[in-house]
Structure 1
Amino acid sequence: MSVKTNKAKASATASISAVAEHAGVSIATVSRVLNGTKAVNADTRARVEAAVGALGYRANALARSLMRGETRLLLVLVPDFANPYFAEIVKGVESVTRENGYGLVIAEASQTLSRDSAALDSLYNRMADGVISLARFADLKPLLQEIPDLPWVACSEFVDDSDVPSVSIDHRQAAIDAVQYLLNRGHQRIALLSASEDYRWARQRHAGYEFALRRANIPIEPQLVRVARGTDYVHGMDAAGALLAMEQPPTAVFAVADTLAIGAIKAFRRVGRRVPEDVAVMGFDDIPVAQVFEPALTTIAQPVRELGAAAAQLLLKRLAGGASESLTLDHALIVRASA
């Protein structure tokens, strides 16, 4: 029994050098057979494969990848783990990368971009083959300049003057559609709950809001525009509270994120304002909770998982040496009970 146990331990820890010695070839030849990087004659290949079988050798996948100059890992930069919108995008990314043999490392964007970040070190050391970024792209420009050959793809957030491919919807047109729906329902005083306009999508949605009002000959009232401190539910509650304090509060609210819209509804309820009877609320994103929240949220639906899947496909195409062009996916207006 002891002899068999020792052999089992030996085979479990067999090294590539042991395989080479057993087969009577060099380590480089074993590597060529295992990785298929160069042609090896049939007799040599058979000896190596026999040695692998006899010793029970299992090549380390990460080591093989590093020998080929890749890790089979992709980094996804997420601005806010608490926001279900980003979680749905990551699910879309994972659906593609899993099928193609890639693993994901999910990192919080602001921490990753800080100078003492371990995730940032991994980028400099090329421990990730590429990056899918959901973060504000302006924050990434210095990093893109320092690591120019690392493949990047932007998802939802992007900048016009960058050669980094992106996948997104037409945020401006989607906002126009949302506000036009409220106008068609007879609303004249429509408020905007916006997010930090460091995000390009937030600026585009704000621009769409203003365009729709001007097209309807309704003057822009700055006091009806509130920029939330973040996109969590509580920030929607806080921003909506400021609207409630107005002498002439709005009859409708367009929020640039479902989380802000749901927070606003909670704030309105606390002071006895009914939705949609007293104030209509329109969201944006169509996160899973939007259809089960009461009242169910009227919103702009982004094809969230499709955005993530498309971003992953763009990145894999870049990694394969192909050219990647930016994509714009379709959005949809989902009418429910809140507006």
Structure 2
Amino acid sequence: MIHSVGGFLPPPMPAHPVPQPEPGPEQPHWNIPSISEDTAREAFALYASSKCCYSSAPAKDGVITNMEAFNTYRYRLETFAETRSTEWSHEPYHGQPVDAFSQPPPGPWDIPAKTPSFFQDDKQVIKVPYTSSVKSCHVCLGMGRKACKECAGAGNKVCWVCNGSGYRHGNDRCGHCNGRGRDNCNHCHGQGSKQCDTCHGKQQLLVYINLTVKWKNNSDSYVVEQLSGLQVDNLSKVSGKELFRDSQFMVYPILGFPDPAVVSAAQRLVNEHQNKYSQTSRILQQRQTIELIPVTKVTYLWKGKSNIYFVYGNEFKVNADNYPATCCCTVM
């Protein structure tokens, strides 16, 4: 049964111990060959043309003197989890079925919800059975109408033309209010009250408990530091070559991978996710992947000076923080 309402509701403890997945097979070492000079030059030219203040000369005329690969790994762990929360809700009563107290309501985790698509955020709101009852509207106290705030329930207001005197100049009667000194309120059409927005004039509300089911894909990643000089943050917006993918109810940290930093990150993130999300939600599926992200450091000469830029990711994205020709659009 639902004994209290409000906030997130932790899932029940599993009836049987959760089986531990078997460790995955050891992974061989992979690598991606450095990109060609033509690819590096084309990516650089495209980058320069996308910047309104960048001259295309360094990209076109610069001479590549060295290319060095700094490929790096990205480990990502995704935990797809379901959370449930309840809250009181209401709607105008117009004859809907009332089922409160006919039998005990089901527990929040006993109510069937739709089948979610793994690793895609989603939400469903379900009216909890056997919680619906009828009560007088708490906003209008069962009257169906509320005093108009604009005229304080009077139905009229001081005429804005004559300021309530009934006359405009001397003995000229105000034509706007016909000498009354007051105007009918436009908001309530002179009635002094308006239909209650909460019960829509029905005077009663159907009150019930709503269950909100949310599915969220919680993702964390770790990128192995590389010594190229390119900031790791740049790699968050690019993709790499997927080397490994493992998806199951509860993943086991990767073992035997050639880079110990990936193994350590996998162990840490798997432990963090299981401790964090199993307390407040029901874990439905986990997925871990390893990508190899290509990073190439390109050194080139332009006007006798050496400069560098980076080409990275499957998208051949370019980073050139110190582009040598950016003076074409100086703001005066």
Would you say same fold, with TM above 0.5? no
TM-score under structure 2 length normalisation: 0.25
Relative contact order higher in (CA < 8 Å, ≥ 6 apart): 2
Q: Give the number of the structure whose residues are more often strand, by fraction.
A: 2
TM-score under structure 1 length normalisation: 0.24
Who wins on radius of gyration, i.e. which is larger?
2
